[in-house]
């Protein structure tokens, strides 16, 4: 993250400052500004990834083995 002003970060932080400044210390507000800046950078990284309708979600399929019911036999719920 850089120290140069960023309009998107400034706008989002201003919303937070207006709503919560009375409840937060200056140190907490400084920390929140950093957090907002990090979230803006992360959002930009996500938006930079171009997807098409043909792109599938990236997820791993891991089969789950469920334990047998008591008694070792299938059937309804007890």
The more confident residue out of 68 and 27 is 27
| Closest-CA residue to 41 (of 70, 2, 68) | 2
| Tens of pLDDT, residues 11-63 | 999 999 999 999 999 999 999 999 999 999 999 999 999 989 998 887 777 77
Distance of CA 21 to the CA centre of its chain: 23
How far apart are the C-alpha atoms of 28 and 10, rounded to whole Å?
Answer: 16
As a residue count, the chain comes to 78
76 band by pLDDT with thresholds 50, 70 and 90? low
Q: What is the pLDDT of residue 47?
A: 94
Do 32 and 13 form a contact (C-beta atoms < 8 A)? yes
Q: To 5 degrees, how large is the angle CA 70–CA 72–CA 78?
A: 35
pTM: 0.64
């Amino acid at each position: 993250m850089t120290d140069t002003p960023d309009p998107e970060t400034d706008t989002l932080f201003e919303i937070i400052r207006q709503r919560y400044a009375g409840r937060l210390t200056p140190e907490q507000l400084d920390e929140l500004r950093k957090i907002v800046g990090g979230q803006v950078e992360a959002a930009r990284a996500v938006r930079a990834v171009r997807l098409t309708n043909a792109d599938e979600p990236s997820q791993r399929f891991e089969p789950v083995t469920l334990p047998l019911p008591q008694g070792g036999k299938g059937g309804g719920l007890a």
